[in-house]
Structures are given as structure tokens and as C-alpha cells.
């Protein structure tokens, strides 16, 4: 009974810490879940190795989804953006504010479009700024009952390399080709002006001069997004992360599932 009360007490403490506002307390709550799991398996097995197995189980949880939904998922080799209406902004906190901030910064609205990937609907509000030589976007994502929004600022240099700063909250589900450089900022950073400053700093640290950036063509922004996805798919085919199914779609290989598992672990550690 004493062992059960200890584990239960730590578990309740973990729930309380996870409900805190400050990130440091939430991370401590995640650590308490691991401690509770270690003690539960330690008391059951009487072995420290048993306790470590209890902790390790948390990191193998993603395999439930990997071996069920994701292993059966088929994604199109070629996907096209389609113009569409703006989704209800009530489902996407900060999206309206981000759009307003882009216009305040001098970015001009280009188009509203979207596509669907593996059951996730992605909707883009696209903007451009000739003096900044950049394209910005508010992306609204919806999958089942989960909805979120993120911001991106993208520049392309004369060598064809793509430079992107984004507060996208998750790790990439496909490997990025060498010519695509991503700068992930904390997902809590929802201020577009701050993200734009982060993008400037990203370019400065990479040694990319403003005059080395291409001025985007607003008529070709959607085509460039589609071409970017085709390049990424081709790179992942060559890397063995995905494989063609022969009917115009692709699926994740076992190597790809291992890659996704690593990405899940990164998110578990980073977002806990």
C-alpha cells in the first residue's frame, strides 16, 4: 500500500505541475511522470532495470501510431494548391493578428489557397514584400479535432537556396534537401514582427546579403510552393525515407518510420 501511495502521489503531483503556466514547471511535471513510471515498474519487478523499462515505454508510445495510421497512409506524389475561402478564424488563435501584423509590416496579400496531406487540411494566406525580398504566410492546419496556426517567412537567394523562419510547432515529417535551410523559433512566438526580426538575424548569421536575395514574383508563389514539395519528395525517395506505391502515391518505408520516430522523440522532449 505504501508503494502505491508513493506512485499515486507523484502521479498527482505531475498532473498538477503539467497544468502550470510556466514552461519550467510543465517540464518538471513531465519529469515526474517518468519518475512515477520508474517507481511503479521498480516496485512491481524489484529491479532497477524494470524501472528503466517503465521509463522507456513512454518513448516507444509513438510506435502505436506509426504501425497503425502512418504505416497505412498514402500521400500523393504530386499535389496542387487550390484557391479557397478563409476558414473560420475562431478555430485558429492568433491567425487574424498575424495577418494584420503582416500588412502593418508592408506585406501585400497575394492569395488564399490550400491542399490536403494525409487527412490534414492546410490553408495558406500568402503575402509578399518586394523590398524585403520575402514571402510570408499564415498557415492554418486542421486534422480531426486538432487545429493550429503557424507563421513562416521565406527568402530565396541567387544560388537557389531557400531560407525559411517559422514557428511551426512540430519537427519536419520529411527530410529537407540541402538547399532548404529552416530556422525554427519557439512556437509560443506568435508576433510576426519578432519572427521577421528573427528571419533577418538568421540571414545575417548565415552570411546572406540582402542584395543576394531574389525578388519574389507574386504570380509564381503558389507554383514555387508546389515545386518545393516535389523537390522534397524526390529527395526523400532518394534517401529511402519514402517509396512509391506505383499508383501516383508514396508511403513511408521502415527507414522512414524510424525517421518519424526520431522526430516524435524530439517533439516529446522539446514540447514537454
Per-residue pLDDT tens digits for 212-226: 999 999 999 999 999
pTM attached to this predicted model: 0.84
Average pLDDT, the chain: 89
| Angle (nearest 5°) at CA 92 between 71 and 175 | 35
Residue 6, pLDDT above cutoff 90: no
Instruction: Name residue 112's beta-bridge partners.
Output: 125
Residue that wins the pLDDT comparison between 234 and 11: 234
| Angle, in degrees to the nearest 10, between helices 192-205 and 95-104 | 60
CA-nearest of 166, 161, 200 to 183 is: 166
Task: Give the mean model confidence (pLDDT) for residues 4-15.
Answer: 85
Residue that wins the pLDDT comparison between 238 and 141: 238
State the Cα–Cα distance between residues 173 and 232, nearest whole angstrom.
11
Instruction: Name residue 141's beta-bridge partners.
Output: 122, 148
pLDDT at 93 (0 to 100): 67
Residue 181, pLDDT above cutoff 90: yes
pLDDT at 142 (0 to 100): 85
pLDDT at 3 (0 to 100): 84
Instruction: Name residue 109's beta-bridge partners.
Output: 127
pLDDT at 103 (0 to 100): 93
Q: Report percent pLDDT > 70 for the chain.
A: 98
pLDDT band at 271 (very low <50, low <70, confident <90, very high): low
Long-range own/partner contacts, residues 215-220 (CB < 8 A, 24 or more apart):
215/130, 215/133, 216/128, 216/130, 216/133, 216/134, 216/135, 216/156, 218/108, 218/110, 218/128
Residue 4, pLDDT above cutoff 90: no
Q: Which residues contact 197 (CB under 8 A, 6 or more apart)?
A: none
- Pairing mode, if any, of strands 134-143 and 120-129? antiparallel
Task: Give the mean model confidence (pLDDT) for residues 128-142.
Answer: 93
pLDDT tens readout for residues 78-123: 989 998 777 777 777 678 888 899 999 999 999 999 998 877 889 9
Residue 166, pLDDT above cutoff 90: yes
pLDDT tens readout for residues 35-87: 899 988 888 888 989 889 988 888 899 999 999 989 999 999 998 999 877 77
Residue 130 has φ and ψ, to the nearest 5°, of: -65, -35
Amino acid at each position: 500500500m505504501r508503494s502505491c501511495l508513493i506512485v499515486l502521489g507523484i502521479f498527482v503531483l505531475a498532473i498538477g505541475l503539467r497544468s502550470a503556466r510556466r514552461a519550467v514547471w510543465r517540464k518538471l511535471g513531465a519529469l515526474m511522470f517518468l519518475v512515477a513510471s520508474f517507481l511503479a515498474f521498480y516496485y512491481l519487478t524489484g529491479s532497477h532495470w524494470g524501472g528503466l523499462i517503465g521509463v522507456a515505454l513512454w518513448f516507444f508510445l509513438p510506435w502505436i501510431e506509426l504501425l497503425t495510421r502512418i504505416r497505412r497512409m498514402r500521400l500523393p506524389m504530386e499535389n496542387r494548391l487550390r484557391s479557397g475561402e478563409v476558414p473560420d478564424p475562431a478555430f485558429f488563435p492568433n491567425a487574424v493578428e498575424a495577418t494584420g501584423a503582416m500588412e502593418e509590416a508592408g506585406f501585400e496579400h497575394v492569395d488564399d489557397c490550400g491542399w490536403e496531406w494525409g487527412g490534414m487540411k492546410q490553408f495558406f494566406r500568402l503575402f509578399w514584400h518586394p523590398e524585403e525580398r520575402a514571402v510570408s504566410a499564415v498557415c492554418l492546419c486542421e486534422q480531426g479535432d486538432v487545429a493550429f496556426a503557424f507563421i513562416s517567412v521565406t527568402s530565396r537567394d541567387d544560388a537557389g537556396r531557400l531560407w525559411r523562419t517559422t514557428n511551426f510547432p512540430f519537427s519536419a515529417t520529411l527530410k529537407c534537401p540541402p538547399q532548404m535551410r529552416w530556422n525554427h523559433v519557439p512556437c509560443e512566438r506568435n508576433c510576426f514582427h519578432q519572427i521577421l526580426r528573427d528571419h533577418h538575424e538568421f540571414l545575417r548569421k548565415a552570411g546572406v546579403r540582402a542584395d543576394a536575395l531574389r525578388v519574389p514574383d507574386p504570380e509564381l508563389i503558389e507554383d514555387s510552393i508546389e515545386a518545393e514539395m516535389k523537390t522534397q519528395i524526390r529527395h526523400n525517395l532518394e534517401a529511402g525515407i519514402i517509396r512509391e506505391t506505383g499508383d501516383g502515391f508514396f508511403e513511408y518505408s521502415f527507414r522512414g518510420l524510424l525517421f518519424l520516430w526520431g522526430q516524435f522523440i524530439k517533439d516529446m522532449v522539446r514540447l514537454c
